[in-house]
Structure 1
Amino acid sequence: MKKLNIMIITALLLVGCNNFEEDININPNVPSQASGTQLIANAMLSLSGLSSSPQGEFMSQYLSETQYVNASLYPQSSTSFYGWYQGPLMNLQTVLNAADELSGVEGPVSNQLAVAKILKSYYIWNLTDRWGDIPYTEALSGADNFTPAYDSQESIYTDLFNVLDEASSQIVPGSITNDIIYNGDMSKWSKLANTLKMLMALRLSEVNPTLGKEKFAAAVQSGVLASNSDNLVFRHLNDANNQNYWFSQLNQGREWWAISSTLMDKMKPVGDPRLMVYGNANRTDGDYTGLVFGETVDIDTEKYALLGDAITAQDAPVYLVTYAQVLFAQAEAAKLGWITGGDATAEENYTMAIEASMDQWGADTSMLADFMAQPEIAYSADMAIEQIATQRWVHLFMHGYEGWAEYRRTGYPNNMVAPGGAEVPNRQIYIETEQFNNTENYNEAVQRQFGGTESLYGKVWWDIN
């Protein structure tokens, strides 16, 4: 009987074998193919990773390591950009490649494509500012090209300006679904596209100020972020599946990061109200003491200001592109003569930028007037660029890679330290795998940028000072 049962079962399996592999891999409760807005939403989930990184905070010296100090000391090691290409960028490219197949049920197709272009541009901008030349025009081709060429950063910037203009121009009335950032509000996506263009233009202040001025003015004319409600913010949830990185670390008892003395020395002496948001007072005396970046001796976390509760909350938001940045940029542009108004406009935007920053961070605004009256803070025509750049850096707390980029461009703040003689890096090193798997293109990129030898101290295209 057992033999007969086995024979019957085997026969049934043979009859169905042609469809077995196909059927067993289908989940009837999950769509077999993601829609355009689902792919876009999945790409949005990676946005917090542009900010939530200890390495980014070390590059800008916002935080000092208390446990594994050597991890923060700018070791000459490589950093991978593969995850960005394999994750959010591939999702967005899939949407762009399927333009003719997208469904208008989820909102106008042109709006879906516009959002995909804006997000892709934002990711690429971040990557090129961190590494320099990167794969771009030949990237994201899947099996068709595993060894893409590296585009020059200058050509990437040129193309991104065009892509952002294209995205803005194709936005039509109507919202899109699955938008976890702006809830389908296309007017905000349009403002974001123009703001990205404006901030990219300011990056050119040293390498190509003529082009920078042109692109900056055009972006402002088209309409940029107009209030904190327009900010590009990634909102975490009180849920383990979408929680703040810093909460997950501190929830495991890892008090590994203190407010750096680099940041503290710019905030505490002038009574900056944001300090009480950024950090918690020391547990020894209730004061705010920063830890010297790179300090390795006698580190007692009780003695230093650690990350504040608002920063480490499970649902703490990640601020990526903000209204305050827009105002700081316009203040600098006015001082540079890129927009009209001179010092009067520069001062007005500088003051508004600090107010917007205070509002964004939920600082005690009753302290704002005294703070603005501090000689180091009150606008000075002679010190304007330093003041604007320093206050922008303070505002960009916890968005380390952006703060680092602005430091490399402006040289401010002027109190960065060099632990063990290691200066703040100028870029990140390409992943070593590229030397073996994409040898010709890797070598060409390194030769073009750095004369054949790359390190943390080779400079990206726009960093000429």
Structure 2
Amino acid sequence: MKKTYIIILSICLAFTGCDNFDEDINVNPNLPSEASGTQLIANAQLFLPGLSSSPYGEFLAQYLAETQYVGSSLYPQESSSFYGYYEGPLKNLQTVIESEDLNGNDGPVPNQLAVARILRAYFYWNITDRWGDVPYTEALMGSDNFTPAYDTQEFIYNDLFEELKEATDMMVAGSIENDIVYGGDMSKWRKFANSIRLIMALRLSEVDASKAEAEFNAALNDGVFTSNDDNLVFRHLADANNQNYWYTEVVDRNREWWALTENLVEEMKPVNDPRLPVYGDPARANEEFVGLKYGEEDNIGTEEFSLLGSDIIAQDAPVYLMTYAELLFARAEAAARGWTDEDAAANYNMAVEQSILQWTGSSEGIDDFLAQQEIAFDPDNAIEKISNQRWVHLYMFGYEAWSEWRRTGFPNDLVSPNGVDVPTRLSYPDNEAFNNTANYEEAVQRQFGGEDSIYGQVWWDQ
């Protein structure tokens, strides 16, 4: 996927006159000296797995516990940087969007712009859900503005809804080149944009239910994911240049630092969840699935507990970012809330089935699995049932599961290690207090009463 572009310098050795020698010497007409729009889009896509592949995200959702060097899982008050997103994928995408000379040979220019806008919206959505108010309208201006103001999360959400609608409206026939996610298929990008809108709308359920319902139905009517083939998946390679983060950590660096949590194993093992053998390996000591209590600080070792599954740490393991099953869980919840006329139970059952199919490749035995009391849909406890199974499904995308936990409160048995509660946001980068003082302080005061704490509540988490 990663391409190395070598600029070859042409030297004009003329037997006749060479009047333009100074102008032409550094120009090769056959090789570009600047990346094309679709190459910049591809480079931005290389940052997608980083949205998911993070031990801290797994700690926030309590999927993984530290087996040694226990520290980050105890939720210390510390800053987290969003600079890499602005300097990397967002800057690449902004360059595409602002370009006046995109190459139509890489696919219709409107489609290049549409994909860039969809990806930019997706990154911004992830950023604002983690930090709250962030630089948005004044961001990515380079030397024209080194101190961008922070837009409110409410404004960002409203603007992203419109951005995504406009991006799909501008699409035309034809595919684009260099697309390492959807292979240039614009129908997939359209579904993805609408699916973002749908999940964003559900995120507003507790802060603005009427808008949430309206945006949810608008996105659903415009067409969202219809199968696992539509999933936003980043597919690593069996190659050191583009390998899975967890392979690097566990295999290359020989770090057995993470085990499945007690909560996760106790949710899955009693019901013989077919996803468990994918999520983790049996403990070497007894070949049983054994979870580690989250936040345990004693000298744990690794033999007694289930470590990350062999499929999860494979060099070319995929990263699931937005999935059909997640959309079905959302549709089940919307139906349970009375937002749609769809069948909540049917969507829930299909969500579990598609989750199992996604993770295991087989839906064999799904009817028996769903028939168990612990799994069967319960209309009297619909939100809890849906949320708990969504949590199981979102394994290894801890930040997304954490957002759903903040919104719904489920699962309701997350651990407070040493009495420390699960954080409700990430705190801003330390440098912002020095580099962007006035805007940083105004944003912190507006949202959190002046304290940049990991326990402040973002706008939709009310």
Whether TM-score is above 0.5 comes out as: yes
Distance 1:59 1:417 in 2: 10
Retained in 1: the 8 A contact 2:68–2:301? no
Q: Does 1:116 align with 2:116?
A: yes
SS at match of 1:310: coil
- C-alpha distance 29-81 of structure 1, shift in aligned 2 (>3 A): farther
Residues 338-381 of structure 1: CA deviation (Å, up to 9, x unaligned): 1114xxx0000000000000111016533423321111110111
Distance 2:221 2:75 in 1: 40
Q: Does 1:190 align with 2:220?
A: no
Structure 1 counterpart of 2:246? 246
Displacement after TM superposition at 1:28 (Å): 9.4
- C-alpha distance 23-264 of structure 1, shift in aligned 2 (>3 A): farther
Q: Tell me, which stretches of 5 or more residues in structure 2 are unaligned? A: 1-19
Distance 2:221 2:457 in 1: 32
Displacement after TM superposition at 1:145 (Å): 0.6
Q: Does 1:415 align with 2:413?
A: yes
Structure 1 counterpart of 2:208? 208
Displacement after TM superposition at 1:68 (Å): 1.6
Distance 1:322 1:429 in 2: 28
| 1:323-342 map, 5 Å | 323-341=324-342
Larger mean Cα displacement after TM superposition, 293-302 or 277-286: 293-302
Larger mean Cα displacement after TM superposition, 320-329 or 26-35: 26-35
Distance 1:24 1:78 in 2: 48
- C-alpha distance 364-222 of structure 1, shift in aligned 2 (>3 A): closer
Structure 2 counterpart of 1:228? 228
Distance 2:320 2:341 in 1: 29
Distance 1:21 1:439 in 2: 46
Larger mean Cα displacement after TM superposition, 47-56 or 69-78: 69-78
What is the aligned residue count? 442
Residues 260-293 of structure 1: CA deviation (Å, up to 9, x unaligned): 1121121112211100110000101110000011
Distance 2:273 2:428 in 1: 38
- C-alpha distance 286-364 of structure 1, shift in aligned 2 (>3 A): farther
Distance 2:22 2:388 in 1: 60
Distance 1:302 1:25 in 2: 60
Retained in 2: the 8 A contact 1:258–1:290? yes
- What root-mean-square deviation, in Å, do the aligned CA atoms of Structure 1 and Structure 2 show? 1.7
Retained in 1: the 8 A contact 2:68–2:299? no
- C-alpha distance 171-82 of structure 1, shift in aligned 2 (>3 A): same
TM-score, with normalisation over the residues of structure 2?
0.93
Retained in 2: the 8 A contact 1:276–1:363? no
The partner residue of 2:401 within 400, 403, 424 is: 403
Displacement after TM superposition at 1:101 (Å): 1.1
Distance 2:167 2:278 in 1: 36
Retained in 2: the 8 A contact 1:427–1:457? yes
Kindly, what percent of the aligned residue pairs are identical? 62
- C-alpha distance 236-20 of structure 1, shift in aligned 2 (>3 A): farther
Structure 1 counterpart of 2:391? 393
Displacement after TM superposition at 1:89 (Å): 0.2
Letter aligned with residue 382 of structure 2:
A
Retained in 1: the 8 A contact 2:131–2:428? yes
Distance 1:102 1:135 in 2: 27
Q: Does 1:435 align with 2:433?
A: yes
Higher helix share: 1
Structure 1 counterpart of 2:359? 361
Distance 1:407 1:23 in 2: 59
- C-alpha distance 26-357 of structure 1, shift in aligned 2 (>3 A): same
SS at match of 1:366: coil
Larger radius of gyration: 1
Distance 2:47 2:213 in 1: 32
Larger mean Cα displacement after TM superposition, 362-371 or 202-211: 362-371
Displacement after TM superposition at 1:20 (Å): 12
Retained in 2: the 8 A contact 1:273–1:363? no
